Amino acid sequence: MTATVSSSLHARSAAKQGRSFLERSWEWLWLPAALRHARQIPPLPASAKQWAARARSSFELARRLLSVEMRAEDQAQASANELYRNATYAALLALTPAAPPNEGNGYSEAVWDRLGEALSLTDFGRPVTDTLATSLRRGSPLYFAELPADEQVAIGAELSALADALLRRAEFPERGATAIYVKRVWRVAALFMLVTTALVGCRSLYLWRADLALHKPWKASSTLAKSGGCRSPAQDCGQLLGTFFHTEEEKSPWLEIDLETARAIRQVEVQNRTDCCADRARPLTIEVSTDHHLWQTVGRQDEEFSTWNARFPTVQARWVRIRALKTTFLHLKRVRVY
């Protein structure tokens, strides 16, 4: 059986190398070949199901013994190790076609002799150490309890990994297709999150680079004494109030950004102050000009807002002015021009 499995693995490896990147990606994401393989595996006979269930019960009980709540109990690690050993033995019986009934009474050397053959069907991926082999054949609660504490923990980790690999293989005919469907969901979700994150990141990078107001000089109609704020052209200088400028209370206060040359623009994004006083920035207009004398209104906001994305037909503009249409203070967190 080992030679057959080795030939099968070699054939799969060669097939994988001959496939394109898209084919390999599709196989990773949707697992069609794995699902076909799972559906072709015949169901377990009743006796094998019983051994697999016993193995699962022992395995989960061992994990529970080593939980945070029960770890402090005396002999917990030694007891868990014996349960992992029992789970390994039961999983081997589940993987053995027509195992003699008497092999379930105690621990049979003949069953342990089949360990290498059974492991060739799993993804255990490492050789069985002499210490692990000895623990399987000679183990008992007393045997494990007499080991030093650090050795108990080390052999417990090996027994757990071994039992888990065998148990997953033993349960595969019953749970294989379901496990593949679960993997599909997780992989599709992971891919969706990755693509979404990449798209959001690319959009943010694009908008950051496309912001025509970035590092461009600006001035306000006035500056409130001791209000702090940024110096032109910065719009982010770590101010506690979350604003980059703050005018006096006056009639129709404004902020004006000089793009330094006439540019085609179609959108202005205005971020309002968020810690308080958002109502001061309404009503608000956006005006543009190419000569600093004639101004054209391209947007108006009459409702209270946190972020206002004003979109309008493309116009040529060098100066962009944000103006409040009442007597008020004006203070904004950021203005972007696209």
Query: How does pLDDT run across 93-105, given as a tens digit for each residue?
Result: 988 866 666 666 7
User: Residue 20 — pLDDT band, cuts 50, 70, 90?
Assistant: confident
| Residue 165: count of CB within 10 angstroms of its CB | 20
Average pLDDT, the chain: 85
Whether 271 and 307 have beta carbons less than 8 Å apart is answered as yes
pLDDT, tens only, 118-164: 898 888 888 899 999 999 999 998 999 999 989 999 999 999 999 99
Query: Which domains are seen in the chain, by residue range?
Result: 31-192 (no CATH), 218-337 (2.60.120.260)
Q: Tell me: pLDDT of 50 over 60.
A: yes
86 Cβ contact partners less than 8 Å away, ≥ 6 residues apart: 54, 55, 58
Q: What is the rounded distance in angstroms from the CA atom of residue 244 to the CA atom of residue 236?
A: 6
- pLDDT confidence band for 82 (50 / 70 / 90): very high
Whole-number Å distance between alpha carbons of 192 and 36: 25
With contact defined as beta carbons under 8 Å apart, do 325 and 283 qualify?
yes
- Which helix (H) or strand (E) segment holds residue 202: the answer is helix 149-210
More confidently predicted of 171 and 221: 221
Between the alpha carbon of residue 310 and those of residues 92, 203, 212, 226, 321, the distances in Å are 69, 18, 15, 31, 13
| pLDDT exceeds cutoff 60 at 15 | no
Residue percentage of the chain with pLDDT more than 70: 83
> Any idea which of 34-38, 194-198, 322-326 has the lowest mean pLDDT?
34-38
219: pLDDT confidence band, cut at 50, 70 and 90?
very high
pLDDT score at 239: 64
Strand partners, 256: 219, 321
Q: Which residue has the tokens 């080992």?
A: 2
Non-local (6+) Cβ contacts of 292 within 8 A are: 318, 319
**DSSP assignment string, 252-273:** S-EEEEEEEEEEEEEEEEEEEP
Radius of gyration of the chain (CA): 35
Q: What is d(CA 50, CA 54) in angstroms, rounded to the nearest whole number? A: 6
CB 84 within 8 A of CB 160: yes
**Is residue 248 pLDDT above 70, yes or no?**
yes
Range with the largest mean pLDDT of 116-125, 177-186, 304-313: 304-313
Cβ(330)–Cβ(255) below 8 Å: yes
Note the pLDDT of residue 213: 94
What confidence score (pLDDT) does residue 8 get?
A: 45
Mean pLDDT confidence for 233-243: 81
The better pLDDT of the pair 210, 281 is held by 281
pLDDT surpassing 50 at residue 2: no
- What's the mean pLDDT in 175-195? 82
CB atoms < 10 A from the CB of 229, how many?
18
Q: How far apart are CA 49 and CA 53, in angstroms?
A: 6
Whole-number Cα distances in Å, 111 to 82, 115, 239: 16, 7, 73
Least confident of 179-183, 184-188, 294-298: 179-183
Cβ atoms of 246 and 331 within 8 Å: the answer is yes
The two tokens of residue 294 are 């004639």
**Cβ-proximal residues to 48 (8 Å cutoff; 6+ apart), any chain:** 93, 94, 95, 170
pLDDT number for residue 66: 87
Please give the average per-residue pLDDT across 310-324, as a whole number: 96
* CA 242 to centroid of chain Cα atoms: 31
CA distance linking residue 256 with residue 318, whole number of Å = 10
